[in-house]
Protein backbone atom coordinates (compact mmCIF):
# COMPACT_ATOMS: atom_id res chain seq x y z
CA UNK A 1 0.00 0.00 0.00
CA UNK A 2 1.30 3.48 -0.89
CA UNK A 3 1.28 5.77 2.11
CA UNK A 4 0.10 9.33 1.73
CA UNK A 5 2.41 12.23 2.43
CA UNK A 6 0.73 12.94 5.75
CA UNK A 7 1.32 9.40 7.07
CA UNK A 8 5.03 9.18 6.24
CA UNK A 9 7.31 10.23 9.09
CA UNK A 10 10.85 11.06 7.99
CA UNK A 11 13.83 12.13 10.05
CA UNK A 12 15.29 15.42 8.85
CA UNK A 13 18.59 14.79 7.07
CA UNK A 14 20.80 17.65 5.95
CA UNK A 15 21.88 16.45 2.52
CA UNK A 16 25.20 17.90 1.35
CA UNK A 17 25.77 15.21 -1.28
CA UNK A 18 27.94 16.30 -4.20
CA UNK A 19 25.79 14.40 -6.68
CA UNK A 20 23.32 13.08 -7.20
CA UNK A 21 22.34 16.03 -5.08
CA UNK A 22 19.38 17.21 -3.08
CA UNK A 23 16.04 17.90 -4.79
CA UNK A 24 13.16 20.05 -3.51
CA UNK A 25 10.76 18.10 -1.29
CA UNK A 26 7.73 19.11 -3.34
CA UNK A 27 9.44 17.89 -6.51
CA UNK A 28 10.09 14.50 -4.94
CA UNK A 29 6.44 14.28 -3.90
CA UNK A 30 5.17 15.21 -7.35
CA UNK A 31 7.56 12.76 -9.00
CA UNK A 32 6.48 9.97 -6.67
CA UNK A 33 2.84 10.61 -7.48
CA UNK A 34 3.58 10.58 -11.23
CA UNK A 35 5.11 7.14 -10.86
CA UNK A 36 1.66 5.91 -9.77
CA UNK A 37 -0.71 8.09 -11.80
CA UNK A 38 0.72 10.52 -14.34
CA UNK A 39 -1.41 13.31 -15.75
CA UNK A 40 -4.61 11.60 -14.53
CA UNK A 41 -4.08 8.80 -17.03
CA UNK A 42 -4.23 6.09 -14.37
CA UNK A 43 -0.90 5.02 -15.80
CA UNK A 44 2.59 5.43 -14.40
CA UNK A 45 4.95 7.93 -15.99
CA UNK A 46 7.35 4.99 -16.17
CA UNK A 47 5.12 3.02 -18.52
CA UNK A 48 3.59 5.52 -20.93
CA UNK A 49 4.83 5.97 -24.48
CA UNK A 50 7.46 8.64 -24.95
CA UNK A 51 5.61 9.43 -28.17
CA UNK A 52 2.39 10.20 -26.33
CA UNK A 53 1.05 13.75 -26.37
CA UNK A 54 1.39 13.82 -22.59
CA UNK A 55 5.13 13.25 -22.62
CA UNK A 56 5.71 15.36 -25.71
CA UNK A 57 4.19 18.22 -23.69
CA UNK A 58 6.66 17.50 -20.86
CA UNK A 59 9.76 17.68 -23.02
CA UNK A 60 8.50 20.74 -24.91
CA UNK A 61 7.88 22.62 -21.67
CA UNK A 62 11.25 21.57 -20.24
CA UNK A 63 13.09 22.80 -23.33
CA UNK A 64 11.19 26.10 -23.25
CA UNK A 65 11.97 26.64 -19.56
CA UNK A 66 15.68 26.02 -20.14
CA UNK A 67 15.69 28.68 -22.85
CA UNK A 68 13.80 31.09 -20.62
CA UNK A 69 16.05 30.63 -17.60
CA UNK A 70 19.23 30.88 -19.69
CA UNK A 71 17.80 33.89 -21.52
CA UNK A 72 18.91 32.64 -24.92
CA UNK A 73 17.63 34.18 -28.13
CA UNK A 74 16.32 32.49 -31.25
CA UNK A 75 18.80 30.13 -32.88
CA UNK A 76 19.41 27.94 -29.84
CA UNK A 77 18.11 24.42 -29.48
CA UNK A 78 17.79 22.48 -26.22
CA UNK A 79 18.33 18.74 -25.98
CA UNK A 80 17.85 16.23 -23.18
CA UNK A 81 20.18 13.30 -23.79
CA UNK A 82 21.45 10.20 -22.02
CA UNK A 83 25.04 9.31 -21.24
CA UNK A 84 25.74 11.96 -18.63
CA UNK A 85 28.05 14.93 -19.04
CA UNK A 86 30.83 12.41 -19.68
CA UNK A 87 29.31 11.58 -23.07
CA UNK A 88 29.36 15.30 -23.87
CA UNK A 89 33.13 15.26 -23.40
CA UNK A 90 33.15 13.31 -26.67
CA UNK A 91 30.09 14.77 -28.39
CA UNK A 92 31.32 18.36 -28.14
CA UNK A 93 34.53 17.84 -30.14
CA UNK A 94 32.80 15.32 -32.42
CA UNK A 95 30.28 17.99 -33.43
CA UNK A 96 32.36 21.18 -33.24
CA UNK A 97 36.01 20.30 -33.92
CA UNK A 98 36.84 20.37 -37.63
CA UNK A 99 38.97 17.54 -39.00
CA UNK A 100 41.76 20.06 -39.70
CA UNK A 101 40.89 22.41 -36.85
CA UNK A 102 41.97 22.98 -33.24
CA UNK A 103 40.01 23.01 -29.99
CA UNK A 104 41.14 24.94 -26.92
CA UNK A 105 40.59 23.81 -23.33
CA UNK A 106 41.09 25.32 -19.89
CA UNK A 107 42.01 22.63 -17.39
CA UNK A 108 40.59 23.38 -13.94
CA UNK A 109 40.08 19.92 -12.47
CA UNK A 110 39.23 16.27 -12.89
CA UNK A 111 36.22 16.76 -15.17
CA UNK A 112 38.02 19.25 -17.40
CA UNK A 113 40.92 16.79 -17.63
CA UNK A 114 38.56 14.04 -18.73
CA UNK A 115 37.02 16.33 -21.34
CA UNK A 116 40.50 17.08 -22.68
CA UNK A 117 41.33 13.37 -22.89
CA UNK A 118 38.25 12.69 -25.02
CA UNK A 119 38.82 15.70 -27.27
CA UNK A 120 42.37 14.58 -28.04
CA UNK A 121 40.96 11.34 -29.42
CA UNK A 122 38.70 13.29 -31.81
CA UNK A 123 41.23 15.81 -33.10
CA UNK A 124 43.83 18.47 -32.44
CA UNK A 125 43.37 19.77 -28.90
CA UNK A 126 45.34 22.48 -27.13
CA UNK A 127 45.36 23.17 -23.37
CA UNK A 128 45.70 26.93 -23.26
CA UNK A 129 45.56 27.36 -19.47
CA UNK A 130 45.67 25.10 -16.42
CA UNK A 131 45.67 25.25 -12.63
CA UNK A 132 47.12 21.77 -12.26
CA UNK A 133 50.39 23.27 -10.99
CA UNK A 134 48.66 24.05 -7.67
CA UNK A 135 46.41 21.00 -7.55
CA UNK A 136 43.50 22.89 -9.13
CA UNK A 137 43.03 25.19 -6.14
CA UNK A 138 42.51 28.30 -8.30
CA UNK A 139 41.02 29.41 -11.62
CA UNK A 140 43.52 30.46 -14.34
CA UNK A 141 43.23 34.07 -15.49
CA UNK A 142 44.67 36.43 -18.08
CA UNK A 143 45.56 33.72 -20.58
CA UNK A 144 45.70 34.28 -24.32
CA UNK A 145 43.00 32.69 -26.47
CA UNK A 146 44.15 31.86 -30.01
CA UNK A 147 41.80 33.38 -32.57
CA UNK A 148 41.88 30.30 -34.81
CA UNK A 149 40.26 27.89 -32.35
CA UNK A 150 37.14 26.03 -33.43
CA UNK A 151 35.92 26.51 -29.86
CA UNK A 152 37.13 27.14 -26.32
CA UNK A 153 35.94 24.71 -23.63
CA UNK A 154 35.69 25.72 -19.98
CA UNK A 155 34.22 24.18 -16.82
CA UNK A 156 32.31 26.75 -14.78
CA UNK A 157 32.42 24.96 -11.43
CA UNK A 158 34.65 22.23 -10.07
CA UNK A 159 32.93 19.92 -7.63
CA UNK A 160 36.01 18.10 -6.39
CA UNK A 161 38.33 21.04 -5.72
CA UNK A 162 35.73 23.66 -4.88
CA UNK A 163 36.55 26.39 -7.39
CA UNK A 164 34.19 28.39 -9.60
CA UNK A 165 34.58 30.86 -12.44
CA UNK A 166 33.24 34.20 -11.27
CA UNK A 167 33.40 35.57 -14.81
CA UNK A 168 33.79 34.00 -18.23
CA UNK A 169 36.38 34.58 -20.98
CA UNK A 170 35.62 37.34 -23.44
CA UNK A 171 36.38 35.94 -26.87
CA UNK A 172 35.19 35.83 -30.45
CA UNK A 173 35.86 32.09 -30.43
CA UNK A 174 32.76 29.90 -29.85
CA UNK A 175 32.60 29.32 -26.09
CA UNK A 176 31.57 25.92 -24.73
CA UNK A 177 30.87 25.42 -21.03
CA UNK A 178 30.31 22.41 -18.83
CA UNK A 179 27.91 23.83 -16.21
CA UNK A 180 27.00 20.49 -14.66
CA UNK A 181 27.42 21.59 -11.06
CA UNK A 182 26.23 25.20 -11.11
CA UNK A 183 23.63 25.38 -13.87
CA UNK A 184 20.72 27.66 -12.91
CA UNK A 185 22.43 28.68 -9.65
CA UNK A 186 23.33 32.23 -10.75
CA UNK A 187 22.72 34.69 -13.55
CA UNK A 188 24.59 34.02 -16.78
CA UNK A 189 24.01 35.35 -20.27
CA UNK A 190 23.33 32.21 -22.23
CA UNK A 191 23.92 34.07 -25.48
CA UNK A 192 27.62 34.37 -24.62
CA UNK A 193 28.01 30.64 -25.20
CA UNK A 194 27.89 28.56 -28.35
CA UNK A 195 27.07 25.49 -26.29
CA UNK A 196 26.22 24.77 -22.65
CA UNK A 197 25.87 21.29 -21.25
CA UNK A 198 25.02 20.03 -17.79
CA UNK A 199 24.32 16.71 -16.16
CA UNK A 200 20.98 17.03 -14.37
CA UNK A 201 21.97 15.48 -11.06
CA UNK A 202 23.24 18.57 -9.23
CA UNK A 203 20.75 21.40 -9.64
CA UNK A 204 18.22 20.24 -12.19
CA UNK A 205 17.01 16.71 -11.56
CA UNK A 206 18.08 13.12 -10.93
CA UNK A 207 20.90 11.29 -12.66
CA UNK A 208 20.03 9.96 -16.10
CA UNK A 209 19.74 12.95 -18.42
CA UNK A 210 22.00 15.74 -19.60
CA UNK A 211 20.83 19.10 -20.90
CA UNK A 212 22.53 20.59 -23.96
CA UNK A 213 21.77 24.11 -25.20
CA UNK A 214 23.48 24.70 -28.53
CA UNK A 215 23.51 27.45 -31.10
CA UNK A 216 22.58 25.77 -34.35
CA UNK A 217 24.87 27.84 -36.58
CA UNK A 218 27.88 26.13 -34.96
CA UNK A 219 26.90 22.70 -36.24
CA UNK A 220 27.53 20.79 -39.45
CA UNK A 221 31.00 22.20 -40.12
CA UNK A 222 33.36 19.43 -39.00
CA UNK A 223 33.93 17.75 -42.36
CA UNK A 224 33.44 14.29 -40.87
CA UNK A 225 30.71 11.73 -41.47
CA UNK A 226 28.66 11.62 -38.29
CA UNK A 227 27.28 8.71 -36.29
CA UNK A 228 23.57 9.39 -35.86
CA UNK A 229 23.34 8.95 -32.10
CA UNK A 230 26.24 11.35 -31.53
CA UNK A 231 25.09 13.98 -34.01
CA UNK A 232 23.48 17.05 -32.41
CA UNK A 233 21.69 17.85 -35.66
CA UNK A 234 20.08 14.41 -35.73
CA UNK A 235 19.07 14.75 -32.09
CA UNK A 236 17.62 18.22 -32.71
CA UNK A 237 15.62 16.96 -35.67
CA UNK A 238 14.29 14.14 -33.48
CA UNK A 239 13.32 16.48 -30.65
CA UNK A 240 15.62 14.63 -28.20
CA UNK A 241 13.72 11.46 -29.15
CA UNK A 242 15.83 9.93 -31.89
CA UNK A 243 15.86 7.00 -29.49
CA UNK A 244 13.72 6.49 -26.38
CA UNK A 245 14.69 9.34 -24.07
CA UNK A 246 15.28 9.11 -20.29
CA UNK A 247 11.64 9.86 -19.50
CA UNK A 248 11.69 10.01 -15.70
CA UNK A 249 14.81 12.23 -15.31
CA UNK A 250 13.45 14.65 -17.90
CA UNK A 251 10.12 14.89 -16.09
CA UNK A 252 11.77 15.50 -12.71
CA UNK A 253 14.00 18.11 -14.35
CA UNK A 254 10.87 19.86 -15.59
CA UNK A 255 9.39 19.82 -12.08
CA UNK A 256 12.61 21.29 -10.68
CA UNK A 257 12.71 24.04 -13.29
CA UNK A 258 9.09 24.90 -12.54
CA UNK A 259 9.91 24.99 -8.81
CA UNK A 260 12.76 27.38 -9.54
CA UNK A 261 10.64 29.69 -11.68
CA UNK A 262 7.74 29.67 -9.21
CA UNK A 263 9.96 30.80 -6.34
CA UNK A 264 11.51 33.72 -8.17
CA UNK A 265 13.81 32.27 -10.80
CA UNK A 266 17.54 32.80 -11.15
CA UNK A 267 17.62 36.16 -9.33
CA UNK A 268 16.00 34.58 -6.28
CA UNK A 269 18.17 31.46 -6.13
CA UNK A 270 21.38 33.40 -6.72
CA UNK A 271 20.73 35.48 -3.58
CA UNK A 272 19.89 32.35 -1.59
CA UNK A 273 23.05 30.61 -2.79
CA UNK A 274 25.23 33.61 -1.99
CA UNK A 275 23.84 33.69 1.54
CA UNK A 276 24.43 29.98 2.07
CA UNK A 277 27.99 30.17 0.78
CA UNK A 278 28.85 33.30 2.78
CA UNK A 279 27.49 31.72 5.96
CA UNK A 280 29.71 28.67 5.61
CA UNK A 281 32.84 30.40 4.35
CA UNK A 282 32.65 32.96 7.15
CA UNK A 283 32.63 30.13 9.67
CA UNK A 284 35.55 28.34 7.99
CA UNK A 285 37.60 31.54 8.10
CA UNK A 286 36.62 32.28 11.70
CA UNK A 287 36.92 28.77 13.14
CA UNK A 288 40.37 27.86 14.49
CA UNK A 289 39.86 24.18 13.64
CA UNK A 290 39.30 24.48 9.89
CA UNK A 291 40.92 25.94 6.81
CA UNK A 292 39.61 26.43 3.28
CA UNK A 293 41.45 24.69 0.45
CA UNK A 294 40.98 27.07 -2.49
CA UNK A 295 41.96 30.62 -3.45
CA UNK A 296 39.40 32.90 -1.80
CA UNK A 297 38.62 34.81 -4.99
CA UNK A 298 37.75 31.52 -6.75
CA UNK A 299 35.70 29.84 -4.02
CA UNK A 300 32.72 27.93 -5.31
CA UNK A 301 29.23 28.81 -4.10
CA UNK A 302 28.18 25.25 -4.88
CA UNK A 303 30.93 23.05 -3.43
CA UNK A 304 32.67 24.28 -0.30
CA UNK A 305 35.90 22.40 0.44
CA UNK A 306 37.81 22.57 3.71
CA UNK A 307 40.18 20.54 5.88
CA UNK A 308 41.15 20.38 9.55
CA UNK A 309 44.28 21.81 11.11
CA UNK A 310 44.38 18.54 13.06
CA UNK A 311 43.28 15.74 10.68
CA UNK A 312 43.56 13.20 13.47
CA UNK A 313 40.38 14.70 14.95
CA UNK A 314 38.27 13.96 11.86
CA UNK A 315 36.58 10.92 13.48
CA UNK A 316 35.40 13.15 16.33
CA UNK A 317 33.93 15.69 13.92
CA UNK A 318 32.29 12.92 11.91
CA UNK A 319 30.67 11.65 15.09
CA UNK A 320 29.21 15.07 15.91
CA UNK A 321 27.97 15.48 12.34
CA UNK A 322 26.26 12.11 12.38
CA UNK A 323 24.44 12.94 15.62
CA UNK A 324 22.59 15.81 13.94
CA UNK A 325 22.06 13.99 10.62
CA UNK A 326 24.58 15.80 8.43
CA UNK A 327 25.03 13.65 5.33
CA UNK A 328 27.51 13.76 2.45
CA UNK A 329 30.13 16.13 3.84
CA UNK A 330 33.22 13.98 3.43
CA UNK A 331 35.63 15.31 0.81
CA UNK A 332 36.36 13.60 -2.47
CA UNK A 333 38.91 10.81 -2.19
CA UNK A 334 41.40 12.83 -4.30
CA UNK A 335 41.32 15.77 -1.87
CA UNK A 336 40.28 14.46 1.54
CA UNK A 337 38.89 16.61 4.31
CA UNK A 338 35.35 17.87 3.84
CA UNK A 339 33.08 19.11 1.08
CA UNK A 340 29.65 20.63 1.59
CA UNK A 341 27.63 20.91 -1.60
CA UNK A 342 25.17 23.80 -1.44
CA UNK A 343 22.99 23.08 -4.46
CA UNK A 344 19.82 25.04 -5.15
CA UNK A 345 17.45 22.83 -3.14
CA UNK A 346 19.59 22.82 0.02
CA UNK A 347 17.97 25.12 2.59
CA UNK A 348 19.88 27.67 4.66
CA UNK A 349 18.69 25.68 7.68
CA UNK A 350 21.06 22.87 6.69
CA UNK A 351 24.02 25.24 6.35
CA UNK A 352 23.26 26.65 9.80
CA UNK A 353 23.19 23.11 11.19
CA UNK A 354 26.68 22.46 9.78
CA UNK A 355 27.97 25.76 11.17
CA UNK A 356 26.60 24.90 14.61
CA UNK A 357 28.44 21.56 14.55
CA UNK A 358 31.67 23.30 13.55
CA UNK A 359 31.27 25.75 16.42
CA UNK A 360 30.54 22.96 18.90
CA UNK A 361 33.58 21.07 17.64
CA UNK A 362 35.82 24.08 18.13
CA UNK A 363 34.48 24.64 21.63
CA UNK A 364 35.22 21.05 22.57
CA UNK A 365 38.61 20.50 20.97
CA UNK A 366 40.35 23.88 20.44
Q: 60 in a domain, yes or no?
A: yes
Q: 77 in a domain, yes or no?
A: yes
The verdict on 283 and 249 lying in the same domain is no
| pLDDT at res. 3 | 42
Q: Of 217, 244, 262, which one is at a domain's C-terminal end?
A: 262
| pLDDT at res. 95 | 98
The stretch 328-353 carries a mean pLDDT of 95
The stretch 150-175 carries a mean pLDDT of 97
Residue 202: active-site member: yes
The verdict on 245 and 360 lying in the same domain is no
What percent of the chain lies above the pLDDT cut of 70? Answer: 97
The mean predicted confidence, pLDDT, of the chain is 95
Q: Which of 5, 53, 67, 111 is catalytic?
A: 111
Residue 268: active-site member: no
Residue 259: active-site member: no
Could you list the residue range(s) of the whole structural domain that residue 319 is in?
Answer: 265-365
The verdict on 209 and 256 lying in the same domain is yes
The verdict on 236 and 300 lying in the same domain is no
| pLDDT at res. 12 | 84
Q: 90 in a domain, yes or no?
A: yes
pLDDT surpasses 60 at 112: yes
The stretch 163-189 carries a mean pLDDT of 97
The stretch 282-295 carries a mean pLDDT of 98
Q: Which of 150, 182, 202, 276 is catalytic?
A: 202
The verdict on 143 and 206 lying in the same domain is yes
Q: 10 in a domain, yes or no?
A: no
> At 316, which CATH number?
3.90.1150.10
Q: Which of 150, 178, 182, 231 is catalytic?
A: 178
The stretch 162-172 carries a mean pLDDT of 97
pLDDT surpasses 50 at 187: yes
The verdict on 245 and 292 lying in the same domain is no
pLDDT surpasses 80 at 2: no
The verdict on 158 and 278 lying in the same domain is no
pLDDT tens, position by position, 225-269: 999 999 999 999 999 999 999 999 999 999 999 999 999 999 999
Alpha carbon distance 258, 69 (integer Å):
10
pLDDT surpasses 60 at 4: no
The verdict on 250 and 272 lying in the same domain is no
What percent of the chain lies above the pLDDT cut of 90? Answer: 95
Q: How many domains are there within the chain?
A: 2
Q: 14 in a domain, yes or no?
A: no
The verdict on 210 and 252 lying in the same domain is yes
The verdict on 255 and 305 lying in the same domain is no
Q: Of 262, 291, 323, which one is at a domain's C-terminal end?
A: 262
Q: 324 in a domain, yes or no?
A: yes
> At 134, which CATH number?
3.40.640.10
**How many residues does the structure list for the chain?**
366
Q: 36 in a domain, yes or no?
A: yes
Q: Of 262, 281, 314, which one is at a domain's C-terminal end?
A: 262
pLDDT band at 335 (very low <50, low <70, confident <90, very high): confident
| pLDDT at res. 10 | 59
pTM to 2 decimal places:
0.95
Q: 21 in a domain, yes or no?
A: no
| pLDDT at res. 296 | 98
The verdict on 232 and 274 lying in the same domain is no
Neighbours of 168 (CB within 10 A): 15
The verdict on 245 and 278 lying in the same domain is no
Amino acid sequence: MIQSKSTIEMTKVHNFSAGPGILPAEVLQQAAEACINFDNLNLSLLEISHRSKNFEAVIAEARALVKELLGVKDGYEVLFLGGGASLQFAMVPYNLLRTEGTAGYVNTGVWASKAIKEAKIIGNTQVIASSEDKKFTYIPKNYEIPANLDYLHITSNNTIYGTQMKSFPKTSVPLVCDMSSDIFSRKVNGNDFALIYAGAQKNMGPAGTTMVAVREDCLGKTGRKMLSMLDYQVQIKGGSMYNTPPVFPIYVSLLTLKWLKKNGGIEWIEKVNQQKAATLYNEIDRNSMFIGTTAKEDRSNMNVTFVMHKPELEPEFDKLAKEVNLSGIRGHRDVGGYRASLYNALPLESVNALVEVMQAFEKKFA
